[in-house]
Structure 1
């Protein structure tokens, strides 16, 4: 059975080289006689994997010693609650920027813990753009400013950050390691692994050390960022195999030339797909061109009665998971780091052929 081009928004495609290496080590990791899935999380073998993953990620993102790297469980959605539970201690409110479905979910969960000041929203524009940062209603006495620089469902992305003295907390689930970022501009970064890093089951958290002091002793021990940092992410058994695969992805990314090199490839992939969509009268993209995502490209057919046929024929052509999120419909191509340019070209060729037959 041949592999298909997987455009799923997550769990997403993994580099084939990573899958093959994991396959070769499945029964016997480096002569240990056991799989990573079977070894103790406190064994020397797994501790070396964890250390390698942290070191590689630190190199790829140029993370300074001012930050702790944590590997936590529960998915990024759990962090929607865990972040205010840890970081609001001693503050009366938190600021949130609303740019799409995931921002909205984060706001809803944060309201369970603190007063939320929504500093700006593009909801009235159907989340097709990003609010003007100069008009944000920031409260500099708040605990932090939360934002999601790439909204996976709506396909909206921004790279600039608001001017503020607040610690910026960013959900980078869809963009981590896909473009250069300056970690020092953030108080905290978090990202579910299942898009650009590895399989579902682990969340990367990069937390500035001074923020760890906000974690209350009243928090459950497995929720406390300070406790997680003090125990090297191993208060309980961490998702060992997911961390191992993340380390293999980091190794693969280093071999590609690092984040700077993969960003150039991502720019070319996104440009090719958007250029084709813009040149067509049959397909359209609903997002403000200034804020189009490189990772998640939604597009709409001129005749939505053809949607089901498009999905069926695209799957037959080896192009999988192109249906848009159930909340918005249409189509969506997620073209994360592991999606090769050949996959994007194959998608464009199919779209062109489909338009010629049904347009």
Structure 2
């Protein structure tokens, strides 16, 4: 049996990417074989699909850190043929072949049963971005942030994490302020549930960051990091919290201890890659129930094929993505 997969390869300075015909023996090791129905497109996938990638840990590689489908072969007692499953994060699409393939072989300990009340397509509209947004909200809730505490800022609002976070927070009754550099997307963000849309400069204007600034927000979901995060820390209300999951605005955070010791704020790290399976299942189940903004899925979703992947990956690298791109296998 042969099947299609989108592969990247680099040998010295020679780099290539495109669709190839594979057999199961070409895939990396695992004890469960999945017929992939859907995958999704994340910034990490785009970074794994370029020359001299710092993400790809082996070549040739099938990228795609997310996948959803049906088990067709299993050497694990946990899964049986016909089970519908989801697999995201860990080393999928990094050092193990991922979801941009009609078949994938994945270690069983990385796989989650598809929750009741969620379709395979919906699970990939979520993907790692939706899981990260839900985990960010979970962390804010753990820090005691409630809907009546005040407004919640979401940065990178038109991206996958941002879009999902807005819709989920609004569903839970939070008052959401969305930050974006795309003026053309204000209506889209309000449709998702944002009460107010502000510019990137309203978060960080490019100047010197004040250690303590006006207390604007009770909490924040920040997938950008960098100077944005430093500015947010100084603008949180007393006992506020920010859940950070990304670095698109940079890795350095030029902050001081003042917001922490004078306002009692919390900086919450969000890791979707090695998140323990007990919490992972809990979050996926919430994404099928109280966090599920299904009325917005159609507006968020853009469906592409394997053949259309290169253009879609480039869109993410250029910062032009909106919502969630899913790959239908």
TM over 0.5: no
Larger radius of gyration: 1
Higher helix fraction: Structure 1 or Structure 2? 1
Higher relative contact order at CA 8 Å, sep ≥6: structure 1 or structure 2? 1
